[in-house]
A and B are shown apart, each in its own frame.
Chain A
Amino acid sequence: AQSVSQHNHHVILSEAASLELGCNYSYGGTVNLFWYVQYPGQHLQLLLKYFSGDPLVKGIKGFEAEFIKSKFSFNLRKPSVQWSDTAEYFCAFLGNTGFQKLVFGTGTRLLVSP
């Protein structure tokens, strides 16, 4: 079965704390991996993506993610969060199905207190 598991549904941090959001996927083939973010009142935006090459990818706003193939994981990290990072974060993958079916996790709501 194709699925994405995001381990934390709600995370509350203080500003300047470090962030790590877990993501594991289940898929038998080659994947392209994504983290999307949805800020309050806004639409889904791409935060970062992994297609191939260096498994450590950097995205916008200081976020990075590491693809560990042996663990089927693609965890999102940021060394120091800001209040403006308050949002919902979705991990997703695109398999080699021949069409553009993104499989999303259930999302993690991050609240950063000032």
Chain B
Amino acid sequence: DAGVTQSPTHLIKTRGQHVTLRCSPISGHKSVSWYQQVLGQGPQFIFQYYEKEERGRGNFPDRFSARQFPNYSSELNVNALLLGDSALYLCASSLTSGSYEQFFGPGTRLTVL
């Protein structure tokens, strides 16, 4: 069975641009969460989506947004990119909103120049 998949694997953007990152959860999983991992730090929670609705949001500016589609895949959008947005963006899926265990994808490495 395929695990969590993310695309693209790497991305280079310049300041002020917009980026869209994509995530496909494990088959049967309905909840998707997004995390940002800056070099040398642990992952930081950005969003959780369940059944196409936002269930939780971390301490990130409104430039960050996300959505979940009927097939439970998800997109993370970041507008007006800043140098500080350079990070590994991780997607995690779980069976339901109340599931404790999250399964992580390989991440998308975003570099902002």
Q: Give A contacts to B, CB under 8 Å.
A: 4, 32, 36, 42-46, 49, 51, 90, 92, 94, 97-107
25 pairs from A and B in contact (CB 8 Å cutoff): A43-B3, A44-B43, A44-B104, A46-B103, A51-B100, A90-B42, A90-B43, A99-B55, A99-B56, A99-B97, A100-B97, A100-B102, A101-B33, A101-B45, A101-B48, A101-B56, A102-B33, A102-B45, A102-B92, A103-B45, A104-B35, A104-B43, A106-B41, A107-B41, A107-B42
Q: Which residues of A contact B73 (CB under 8 A)?
A: none
**Are A106 and B42 touching (Cβ within 8 A)?**
yes
**Are B42 and A104 touching (Cβ within 8 A)?**
yes
Q: Which residues of A contact B90 (CB under 8 A)?
A: 43-44
In the bound complex, how far is the Cα of B63 from the Cα of A44, in angstroms?
A: 26
